[in-house]
Structure 1
């Protein structure tokens, strides 16, 4: 079961962190009301959001939390790392997910794969129509069961990365976040990033 509704607030100089958080908080609270569920906030650390007033009042969890909320609730992921994005995806299965993008990890690939609504522009993020990009995502998805760690999977991932590089389409964050939307594990995604960086 996938994410039913997705939205994001891209990192943008025209929008400060409080405004970005407020947009996301309004959206996830509305989704919670519509779904009859209590939204959850995913942060990189449990105290990472204490200085952001718009994020007060949420149950906060992080990938390091000992106890985890049940999945299937609306989730707001605030400036996630790769680990936090994958964790938020797991918690939001069957529900809704909004992500406030941070400056250290671009989630544009995730937003495109999810068709996420951009809460700043009110536009839906269009999926890439470039056949080369889509072909690479399909190949990577086909070979991801072992996290591209076995010989066949690693070779397929290396070829896919090389094809993107030759086409001028390679962006590590975009590729990694797109594959996060396609269900790859943190371990697999870190391996994919290492492959990108080694080519």
Structure 2
């Protein structure tokens, strides 16, 4: 079984999006370089620095499944059934969508009985590869349940002031991180990975 890793771009004051769900300048680093990185959602691509591209590719190659919340699923319309990373995704929700236009896809799975069940399903799908968690409520619930192995943050030099927090709906005492195992500075971002102390 692979690791469970929370990952997202985050502002210096701890937010992953504005209140209206717009990431704003948090994604500027996706266009900060000249190295084209293609996604599974053709013809979509972005342009990273060589340093960020190397980090990104090593990270993405590990991922076997994603766990996201219903809000992100609704904002993206479930990526039309094909996540840009090209991997299956599990949606933690109170109720699965009834009339989703892309319901025939084999990539989307809906779990209504809690974070433990969502991560367990994602681990079965991922096998020995990494389960990646969306930041916010999903990460908060998973940390509180002791299910996260690492926290990865793409720290962006912006301040949002308000919005959706990386660590949402969690007692701060439940977030115990060790010294970073990865610190990579690049244009418009610093890539950080912290082990979770259990």
Scaled by the length of structure 1, the TM-score of the pair is: 0.35
Between Structure 1 and Structure 2, the one with more helix by share is 1
Scaled by the length of structure 2, the TM-score of the pair is: 0.36
Q: Which has the higher contact order (CA 8 A, sep 6+)?
A: 2
Between Structure 1 and Structure 2, the one with more strand by share is 2
